Amino acid sequence: MIIAVSGTPGVGKTTVSKILSERLGYEYVSIKDFALAKGIGEKVGDEIEIDVDELSRAVGEEFSGRDVVIDGHLSHLVPADVVVVLRLHPKMVAERLESRGYPRKKLAENVEAELVDVILVEAIEENENVIEVDTTGKTPDEVVDEILSLLNSGVKRRVGIVDWSWAYDDVVQYLMLGGD
């Protein structure tokens, strides 16, 4: 089974993916490392630009029929049996990205993306089986417990459980309203 773990930067994808793969006995795959190893991605400044169509093709070829957890904020765009979209209160996303030294513009883009469900919407458009999980106030082990509980009970689709519209006032200072 291919499980893709996606979400806005800062929501806990890597930590959760590593624990999940360990608990399931699945191979862990970083989408970023895979793309670079296959020559699908290239470093441009501090970022990696990835050809998503080529990434999707390569993931399908490489991991079809294998048990893997694929970690990365583009993983919802590759072939997977189930996509887990991790969500986190946008203010916590801002604080985590700020502590990682993200430039103001990139921080604002990611806070806005979490606020308005960008990754979730893309995941739903690309995949039949999407499970949304709110990580706010939970330890990584609690998040993995929730994911495993949902998977073991046969849940294939659970979306619409998170609504950050009420949190706008909490994050307005992180947004870049009116442009640069």
Q: What pLDDT sits at residue 131? A: 98
Q: Is 12 annotated as a binding residue?
A: yes
Percentage of residues of the chain with pLDDT beyond 70 = 98
Residues paired with residue 83 on neighbouring β-strands, in sequence order: 4, 130
* Residue 166 domain flag: no
- Residue range 122-134: mean pLDDT, rounded: 97
Q: What pLDDT sits at residue 47? A: 77
Range of the domain at 94: 2-159
* Residue 165 domain flag: no
pLDDT tens sequence across 25-45: 999 999 999 998 999 987 777
Q: Is 13 annotated as a binding residue?
A: yes
* Residue 69 domain flag: yes
pTM of the predicted protein model: 0.94
Q: Is 100 annotated as a binding residue?
A: yes
Q: Is 135 annotated as a binding residue?
A: no
pLDDT band of 92, cuts 50, 70, 90: very high
Least Cα distance to 173 among 107, 89, 87 occurs for 107
Q: Is 10 annotated as a binding residue?
A: yes
* Residue 180 domain flag: no
CATH number for position 75: 3.40.50.300
pLDDT band of 179, cuts 50, 70, 90: low
Q: Is 174 left (phi over 0), alpha (psi -120 to 50) or beta?
A: alpha
